[in-house]
């Protein structure tokens, strides 16, 4: 990892009232790596990803994307710079077709025009990348179905397709396995493994099997601070991490 980091977080802090959810977090994500953030409930993972995605403004600190500090830019501006995020709670438009949802993601990233009156549904510039993204996540067969009608696992696959469709530099994945069956979780792990090496990913995930299967590096968030950061084996072996987080289960 001799490269410059794609994303560098410096001393990031966010408090809600008296509670400091993210307390001086610094970390880097390098191009091409899968960087997982783990931590117990309430460790500040969701706040961290919201700060990175631009839904929250930090009280302090910098978020450098390339050379630019984007800590105070709104979410839609970050999306245009190449951030794509998935949500912990399924976020698709249920009334639209599966394909339309992905086309929306292509359309939304398109910085060139707000394209008011132009018809959307038959525009090949939208359809082609959308279909490619659906094929990538194995959803091509349900492209014409209403998004509200497909299964939970397929919803999460659709979300990944939506993040891919925008051809992002960085995928922010907020618990992509949440609420999935073992079978769905295996399929999703396969999809993410397939993307590994090609896309840079920051993955927040509870499922330790998934994290250790996918991550090149792991940062452990405890009480809003990074308690440890490094290769999976090193993190697994870290005494402080085991005590604070992994507990008996991983011992």
Pick between residue 132 and residue 208 the one whose CB is nearest to another protein. Answer: 132
What is the torsional sign of CA 147, 150, 151, 154?
A: negative
**SS3 of 78, please?**
helix
Considering the complex, what minimum distance in angstroms separates the CB of residue 220 from another protein? 25
Q: Is 100 left (phi over 0), alpha (psi -120 to 50) or beta?
A: alpha
CA distance 147 to 162: 12
Q: Which of 104, 173, 192, 226 binds another protein (CB under 8 A)?
A: 104
Q: Which of 91, 167, 196, 246 binds another protein (CB under 8 A)?
A: 91
Sole window of 39-47, 120-128, 185-193, 210-218 interacting with another protein (rule: CB under 8 A): 120-128
Pick between residue 18 and residue 119 the one whose CB is nearest to another protein. Answer: 119
**SS3 of 203, please?**
strand
**In terms of C-beta density within 10 A (0-12 exposed, 13-18 middle, 19 or more buried), how is residue 236 classed?**
middle
Q: Does 218 bind another protein (CB under 8 A)?
A: no
User: Between residue 33 and residue 72, which ones bind another protein under the rule CB under 8 A?
Assistant: 53-55
Q: Are 21 and 15 in contact (CB under 8 A)?
A: yes
CA distance 187 to 150: 16
Residues 6+ apart with CB under 8 A from 132: 165
Q: Does 162 bind another protein (CB under 8 A)?
A: yes
Q: Does 136 bind another protein (CB under 8 A)?
A: no
Pick between residue 54 and residue 235 the one whose CB is nearest to another protein. Answer: 54
Considering the complex, what minimum distance in angstroms separates the CB of residue 100 from another protein? 7
Q: Which of 93, 231, 234, 237 binds another protein (CB under 8 A)?
A: 93
Binding site for another protein (CB under 8 A): 53-55, 74-76, 79-80, 83-85, 87, 91-96, 100, 103-105, 107-109, 111, 114-121, 123, 146, 148, 162, 166
């Amino acid at each position: 990892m001799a490269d410059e980091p794609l994303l560098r977080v410096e001393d990031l802090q966010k408090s809600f009232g008296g509670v400091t959810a993210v307390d001086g977090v610094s970390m880097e994500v390098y191009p091409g790596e899968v960087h997982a953030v783990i931590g117990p409930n309430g460790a500040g993972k969701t706040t961290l990803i919201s700060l990175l995605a631009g839904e929250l403004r930090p009280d302090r600190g910098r978020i450098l994307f390339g050379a630019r500090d984007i800590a105070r830019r709104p979410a839609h501006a970050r999306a245009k710079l190449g951030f794509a995020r998935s949500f912990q709670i399924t976020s698709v438009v249920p009334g639209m077709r599966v394909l339309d949802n992905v086309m929306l993601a292509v359309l939304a990233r398109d910085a060139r025009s707000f394209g008011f009156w132009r018809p959307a549904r038959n525009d090949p510039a939208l359809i082609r990348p959308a279909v490619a993204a659906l094929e990538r996540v194995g959803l091509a067969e349900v492209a014409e179905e209403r998004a509200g009608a497909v299964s939970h696992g397929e919803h999460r696959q659709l979300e990944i397709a939506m993040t891919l469709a925008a051809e992002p530099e960085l995928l922010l994945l907020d618990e992509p396995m949440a609420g999935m069956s073992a079978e769905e979780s295996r399929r999703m792990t396969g999809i993410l493994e397939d993307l590994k090496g090609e896309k840079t990913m920051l993955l927040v995930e509870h499922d330790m099997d998934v994290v250790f299967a996918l991550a090149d590096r792991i940062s452990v968030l405890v009480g809003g601070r990074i308690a440890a950061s490094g290769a999976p084996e090193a993190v697994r072996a870290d005494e402080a991490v085991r005590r604070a987080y992994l507990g008996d289960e991983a011992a």
